[in-house]
Structure 1
Amino acid sequence: MTPVLRFALFFGILSLLVVSGHVYLYRRLFRDTARHSAWRRVGVGVMALLAATLLGSRMLTYLWPSEATALVEQVSWFWMGAATYLLLAVLSLGGVRTLSGWLKRRRAVEAAPAPVSEERREFLARATAGAALVATGGIASYGVWRAYHPPVVNEVAVKLPGLPKALDGFTIIQLSDIHVGPLIQRRFMDALVAQTNALKGDLVCITGDLVDGSVEELGFAAGALRELRSRYGTYFVTGNHEYYSGDEEWSDALTRMGMTVLRNRHVRIGEPGASFDLVGVDDWGAQRSGYPRERSYDLAAATAGRDSSRASVLLAHQPAGWREQALKAGMGLQLSGHTHGGQFFPFNLAVAAIWEHDAGLFREGDSSIYVSRGTGFWGPPLRVAAPPEIVKVTLLA
């Protein structure tokens, strides 16, 4: 399937879902709550505008970049999150109404059927719509607060095969999936850097999806990372969003900021008498997207020339290659992200069903993988049942 055909199929399915969802919301929030034609016309206009915003805002921003189109795109992300919870609330409350009505009919099966009251039906529709709006407002408000609130710090201890005893207790601070962009700017980054530095890690690593935009657009916001402080410095590997934003340009920019960018290579961390190998690979999906091998996941190139008996930590954006590649190569620990842990309910349940290693620490034999839920967010600025995190990994000999 060609990229154009794949995009057309994706956009067609997306359009069907978006339009269907907004038609359903119109029926429940406008058509069922009042019989006034003016109110229903307002509903048609509101739902059509919101659906069009969801489907077209990113293309609009791409074709005519400006503050106005950027604002429209931001509104579309907020509405995407709110619409998800509004649909869930309306469907849930409507299901309760349907079940309640069915039970009443069962109990009155031998009685004469009561006449249908349009006023009662309209009252119940309004009550359902009002309750759904209140529930959506509460959950969405919490989700936005949680997304912008300082990430939680998850501390994990991992036994690393071959780690010298002199490095027992070595700490790695992992940041992942920050997604600096229109909704995450310098203020968020300054607070994140301060929180990271307070953990006093020996090494900081960023496992991809740092940015959603060009160096020109986001260089100032990402520049806060210059202030990261650790004994052995900051290391970075690409995620899929770096390829959307200019992987080579960002690699050069981050190098100028003082980071070490690991693109299919490894470095030695520690002192001459006590060290381990830090291995970094490019994003797992890059080669499938048509990027050349030297800019795609290549663990063989990244580990070329290293002593396989030495302790190793692999930085790889996606957890997808852990069993297929990292375990076979003898990597003692892999640090990944990409999944966001689903980011917000109910997508956290879907991600847990799709990804074998969705979030948290997993072990197989002597090897381990930690998959971060991400430090920022992508798309809707929501975090519900999957809070953002900074990971502090303590290596044990």
Structure 2
Amino acid sequence: MLAVLGFVGVLALTTGLIHLYLWKRLVRDTTTPGRWRRAGGIAALVLALLVPATLAGTQAGLYWLAWPGYLWLAVMFYLLVVLAVLEVPMLVTRLVLRRRLATAEPTTAAPEPVLVTTAEPTTAPEPVLVGAAGPSEPPATDAVTAPDHDPARRLLLARGAAIFAGLTAIGITGYGVRTALGPPRLDRVQIPLAKLPRSMDGLRIATVSDIHLGPLRGRAHTERIVAAINRLDADLVAVVGDLVDGSVAELGPAAAPLRDLRSRYGSFFVTGNHEYYSGVEEWVQEVDRLGLRVLQNQRQEIQARGGVLDLAGVNDLDADPAGTGLAAGPDFAAALGDRDPSRPVVLLAHQPLAAVEAAQYDVDLQLSGHTHGGQIVPFNLVVRLAQPVVSGLGEVDGTKVYVTNGAGFWGPPVRVGAEPQISLVELRSA
């Protein structure tokens, strides 16, 4: 809970600064002083408070905040992205307009000087230069210094950018909501393992992660995922963490359909970081009661088709390293030590980053989730800074790592560039 509150605090500061920027671009720059600007300022303040209130409120059971708060979070993000992208062309446009205004004012040229003499022909008078303003005054011009900007044009430009950003952000968010709430895509991938016996060639593991049962997804979400997995007729089912965002008392009925998962050699579960925010001890017991074997720093021997494979699982990296029992952190030695090195081993670990240590134990394949595939483009670029693999098949120090996008979402009910996913991993003998 403290970790969640700390995250909410940082997010509150960040969103405050973001809303200050949005207020400037969408309200101050597009309005003149008056009631519309005041109304826009109040709206920006309310929306800024809505984001941390939603994150804290949903933790306290105020689920009615979830839809408006999380949808605004997505729209806010894309407004920020679009407006930031527009900053450079907007600056160039303002400079061009300013330059044109500075050179657009016409000037009136001074008249040519005229040589004037006295009436007496015998006397050579001094020539006098006479201009339009008189003989003793310098030539005058009508040149006017151009203003450095045109307020009307500047206002028009700001309003155009605001309208474009608003329509774009709302359009992308709408597409993302439709994608996130749609059925998970099935991803089939074949992964060769050098140690896999030929008799086990084609062993299939249905892999799902990040179901994220919570204020926005309930029992129907679980039922759809279970039905999709059962249609695959898999040999093994692996649920690799982040099943829930709430307590067993709140979400137990929503998780209940997991008892209907079908596979030839069993269904398995490892904890994700969100289980540690939601009462990990209760959830481990509940998942076990529903028929999934929870691998907590453990290894299970899988005998199938005349061959043997080790299936191991470790607790999430965000668990307390000093914890004990069900709340203990990952223990790779306990899960992977003292095993037969001639057997292939598949490790279930919520975060792809676990492969850095798993590779030291010669793990053949790690199945992970956690990243959501980035969930919202271009946020996937940020995820790459923290995780070695964001989506699909990769490799870390000789260990193959497959990362599924997850079947749910966290926070905004939005997925852009990373569809919800259930993966069927087919092991092939090399």
TM over 0.5: yes
Q: Name the structure 2 match of 1:215.
A: 248
Indicate which of 364, 367, 370 corresponds to 1:338: 370
2:386 is equivalent to residue 389 of structure 1: no
**Structure 2 length-normalised TM:** 0.83
Between 278-287 and 36-45, the greater mean CA deviation after superposition: 36-45
User: Do the aligned residues in 1 keep the contact of 2:388 with 2:396 (CA within 8 Å)?
Assistant: no
What per-residue deviation string (whole Å, max 9, x for no partner) do you get for residues 179-217 of structure 1? 111111122222222222222211110001111101111
Look up the SS of the partner of 1:361 in the other structure: strand
Report the CA distance shift for 1:170/1:125 in structure 2 as closer, same or farther (over 3 A): same
Structure 2 residue 275 is matched with structure 1 residue 245: no
C-alpha spacing 1:186/1:114, structure 2 compared with 1 (3 Å): farther
2:361 is paired with a residue of what secondary structure? coil
Instruction: Give, in whole Å, the separation in 2 of the partners of 1:195 and 1:202.
Output: 14
Contact 2:355 2:399 survives alignment (8 Å): no
SS at match of 2:426: strand
Q: Identify the range of structure 1 (154-163 vs 234-243) with the bigger mean alpha-carbon deviation.
A: 154-163
State the shift of 1:291 in Å.
2.3
Question: Post-superposition shift, 1:77?
Answer: 1.5
Aligned counterpart, 2:84: 91
Of 23-32 and 313-322, more deviation after overlay is shown by: 23-32
CA 1:51–1:319: 2 relative to 1, 3 Å: same
2:40 matched residue in structure 1: 43
Richer in helix (by share) = 1
Report the CA distance between 1:111 and its aligned residue.
Answer: 5.2
Q: Of the two structures, which has the highest relative contact order with CA contacts closer than 8 Å and spacing of 6 or more?
A: 1
Q: Is the 8 A contact 2:59 2:246 kept in 1?
A: no
User: Deviation per CA, 1:94-132, whole angstroms, max 9, x where unpaired?
Assistant: 432222222455577755575443333222222221111
Partner of 1:287: helix, strand, or coil? Answer: coil
Task: Name stretches of at least 5 consecutive residues in structure 2 with no aligned partner.
Answer: 106-144
1:267 aligns with 2:300: yes
Shift of 1:303: 2.9
2: distance between equivalents of 1:256 and 1:203?
18
Find out whether 1:146 has 2:179 as its counterpart. Answer: yes
- Structure 2 CA distance for aligned equivalents of residues 11 and 382 of structure 1: 20
SS in 1 for 2:394: strand
SS in 2 for 1:394: strand
**Is it true that 1:80 corresponds to 2:81 in the alignment?**
no
Of 208, 220, 225, which residue of structure 1 is paired with 2:258?
225
For residue 310 of structure 1, give the secondary structure of its aligned residue in structure 2.
coil
Q: Which of the numbers 95, 101, 111 marks the counterpart of 1:102?
A: 95
Distance 1:293 1:308 in 2: 28
Q: Pick one of 386, 402, 407 that aligns with 1:370.
A: 402
Contact 1:343 1:385 (C-alpha < 8 Å) held by counterparts: yes
State the Cα RMSD in Å. Answer: 2.4
Question: 2:141 maps to which residue?
Answer: none
SS at match of 2:360: coil
CA distance in 1, matches of 2:33, 2:100: 35
8 A contact 1:178–1:211 mirrored in 2:
yes
Equivalent of residue 52 in structure 1, options 39, 49, 52: 49
**TM-score (norm: length of structure 1):** 0.90
1:196 paired with 2:229, answer yes
Counterpart Cα distance in 2 of 1:389 and 1:315: 17
Q: Which runs of 5+ in 1 are unaligned?
A: none
Larger CA Rg, structure 1 vs 2? 2
